[in-house]
Structure 1
Amino acid sequence: MNIKAILMGAATACTIAFGASAETLTLVNADSIGSPMDQMNAHFAKLIEERSDGEIEVNYISGNQLGTPPQVMDQISAGVVDAMGTAGAWLSAYAPDTQILTWGFTFRDGDHVFDFFNSDLFQDLTTEMRDTGRIRVLSAGPTEPRVAFLTEPLEEGGNFNDRKMRIPQIQSYLELWKALGAQPTQVAWSEVYLAMSTGVVEGAEGPPTAAISQRFHEVAPNVYLTNHVWATSTIVINEDKFNSLSPEHQEIVKQAALDSAVWAYDDATTRREEVLAKMKEGGATINQYDASGLQAAAREAVAKLEADGLWREGLFDAVQQQ
């Protein structure tokens, strides 16, 4: 991957389109083209250019060209690229306590997620990320609850014991699915379809509006509405790049990010039922699921995980109070 060539190409195209006088912002999408995060990034870019009257040009690089979200996060920290919109789960590489975001049944609903992101507690969790990692969180918000996709159905009232479940490369996901009795296996998002179709894993989990573009329901048609973790979005920017902007441009970028987080939530909420219906039309079975047993198992594991340092002690209870 020639990152320098990609960046130079994007910059050249932007210069031709807009001229060379405006402030430029290199924005990266590290999720698949057409995914909810790609659409959120495109909305963010549009708002910036409209609200700045073209004074801020956005070089938008999409389609995994610069690597995975953790790889792009490293590039933002190093100042190679400026900004990215992606799932909030990836903040944990630079703000370990944010692994609480991907713990089971941490949040009651979307409003609770927004309240947490708007709290002093969240600001505290990401201070070192900004000051040392040089990555500022511009916005964060909920999108939708995650559900489970299985190649074979559960028994009536069954659990996930011994199921080989795909998880991302995030420690809290590993610990969660272990607590739920499954056999968690780390597989890249883009490889999940193949992993399920070949039996490497027996299931996966994720937000329906993102999973449909990966066609999870085609190879794992047993969909269970576990709603175990709230999927989230975030938009981050290199701290030094942000500080180089004028106060007026900083405000435009910040507000555009906040508005884009709300847009992503509204979009996912609107499309979720449509997506589930489309999966059903494609042959999937959409199952309601009593998650009380999963919730109890996740809650029981919290004390040990906090003692082991997965996140700071007392954080789970503090989030409940937001």
Structure 2
Amino acid sequence: MSYLKSFAAALLASAAIATSAAACEVTLKSSDTHPDGYPTVEAVKQMGKLLEERTGGRLCVEVFHSAQLGQEKDTIEQTKFGVIDLNRVSMGPFNNLVEETKVVSLPYIFKNTEHMHHVMDGPIGEDMLKAFEPHGYVGLAFYDGGSRSFYNKVKPIKSIDDLKGMKVRVMQSDIFVDMMTALGANATPMPYGEVYSAIQTGVIDGAENNWPSFESSGHYEVAGYYTLDEHLIVPEVLVMSKVSWDKLSAEDQAAVRQAAKDSVPVMRDLWQAREKASEEKVRAAGVEVITDIDKAPFMAAMDSVYEKHVTSENLKDLVKRIRATD
């Protein structure tokens, strides 16, 4: 979708909610590419409820899910100019804009989900949220994006040797491509919508993603092996347009920031339930889940990826601080 088309879609959507939002002094338009009912969508809805309650109905949030306002690349630009007020976005699209987001996109930077929560809920996370502001965004909160692991149709992956020569789909990201190269596999960048048929027909051997995506995409139907190596645990971010933010009073800004923070536990509870349900469905379908895996060799193989992508002193310091966090 082009920027102009996305801009037009946002204006039409604004007109559509004008009547329902009449009772509110300010209605913040929020974008999400995920479908209605998805944990991030429901979390922002909860944020809106809290805002409405705490401001006596002066501030409201209208969530446009399912990429109604455009794909993430388009909505990020619209958010910068204040056409969209709030935006739940993956970290990847911000990598070339906000340098700090590269660090949380690195393989094995987090030990596990609990470690990621400790990092993002603490001083490091606060510093990272502040890093968005010079670029026209106000970072409000971090949501979960799950743990990404490998799946394929050929054989169980229990070691790096099992990955050698395997054709694995990755997102169109230099970090992802370099990760697969370091593991001896053949990285195959490909749109997400093409993965099912590509595995089915043998164009690729497999891919990598979290439990909910592996299940909801139907990839488990064509890839019978899922290895819980959890090479990536990438949080997602909720940002607000600096243009929209500056229109609010200091009191309302504080209310927005607090409501966003208070939506995080809601999102995490929903995410955990979603992960559990997806895992149960995948296991019931007969997929072989490999949990007995030594992650140490996988992590050691990432040295070249870090050397290539962690180049500035700022990024090196962030990596050091994350690794030092319990």
Normalised TM-score (structure 2): 0.86
Return closer, same or farther for 1:268/1:245 CA change in 2, 3 Å cut-off. same
Secondary structure in structure 2 of the residue aligned to 1:226: strand
Q: Which residue of 2 aligns with 1:59?
A: 62
Equivalent position amino acid for 1:297 in 2: A
Equivalent position amino acid for 1:275 in 2: S
1:44 aligns with 2:47: yes
Query: 1:41 Cα deviation (Å)?
Result: 3.4
1:247 aligns with 2:250: yes
- 1:220-246 Cα offsets, whole Å, 9 max, x none, are 221111111113121011112112112
CA distance in 1, matches of 2:206, 2:53: 42
Q: Retained in 2: the 8 A contact 1:113–1:141?
A: no
Unmatched segments (≥5 aa) in structure 2: none
Deviates more, 1:151-160 or 1:228-237: 151-160
Query: 1:101 Cα deviation (Å)?
Result: 1.0
Q: Retained in 2: the 8 A contact 1:306–1:314?
A: no
Return closer, same or farther for 1:313/1:112 CA change in 2, 3 Å cut-off. same
Equivalent position amino acid for 1:138 in 2: L
CA distance in 2, matches of 1:315, 1:8: 39
CA distance in 2, matches of 1:177, 1:255: 39
CA-based RMSD: 2.7
- 1:117-156 Cα offsets, whole Å, 9 max, x none, are 244444545555311x201210114443222221222366
CA distance in 1, matches of 2:111, 2:82: 36
Return closer, same or farther for 1:180/1:42 CA change in 2, 3 Å cut-off. farther
Q: Which residue of 1 aligns with 2:154?
A: 152
Deviates more, 1:69-78 or 1:195-204: 195-204
Equivalent residue for 1:107, pick from 93, 110, 124: 110
Query: 1:202 Cα deviation (Å)?
Result: 1.9
CA distance in 2, matches of 1:189, 1:178: 20
Secondary structure in structure 2 of the residue aligned to 1:227: strand
Q: Which residue of 2 aligns with 1:259?
A: 262
CA distance in 1, matches of 2:313, 2:165: 23
CA distance in 2, matches of 1:93, 1:47: 33
Q: Which residue of 1 aligns with 2:20?
A: 17
Secondary structure in structure 1 of the residue aligned to 2:316: coil
Q: Retained in 2: the 8 A contact 1:207–1:231?
A: no
Q: Retained in 2: the 8 A contact 1:29–1:86?
A: yes
Q: Which residue of 1 aligns with 2:96?
A: 93
CA distance in 2, matches of 1:156, 1:99: 28
CA distance in 2, matches of 1:197, 1:186: 17
CA distance in 1, matches of 2:157, 2:124: 41
CA distance in 2, matches of 1:136, 1:263: 21
Residues matched between the structures, number: 320
Q: Retained in 2: the 8 A contact 1:11–1:59?
A: no
Q: Which residue of 2 aligns with 1:293?
A: 297
Secondary structure in structure 2 of the residue aligned to 1:228: strand
Query: 1:279 Cα deviation (Å)?
Result: 0.9
CA distance in 2, matches of 1:311, 1:172: 18
- 1:44-85 Cα offsets, whole Å, 9 max, x none, are 333333433321232322212333222211221232211111
CA distance in 1, matches of 2:18, 2:83: 18
Normalised TM-score (structure 1): 0.87
Give me the identity figure in percent.
Answer: 22
CA distance in 2, matches of 1:62, 1:146: 23
1:306 aligns with 2:294: no
Q: Retained in 2: the 8 A contact 1:95–1:125?
A: no
Return closer, same or farther for 1:53/1:66 CA change in 2, 3 Å cut-off. same
1:117 aligns with 2:142: no
Q: Which residue of 2 aligns with 1:321?
A: 324
Q: Which residue of 2 aligns with 1:83?
A: 86
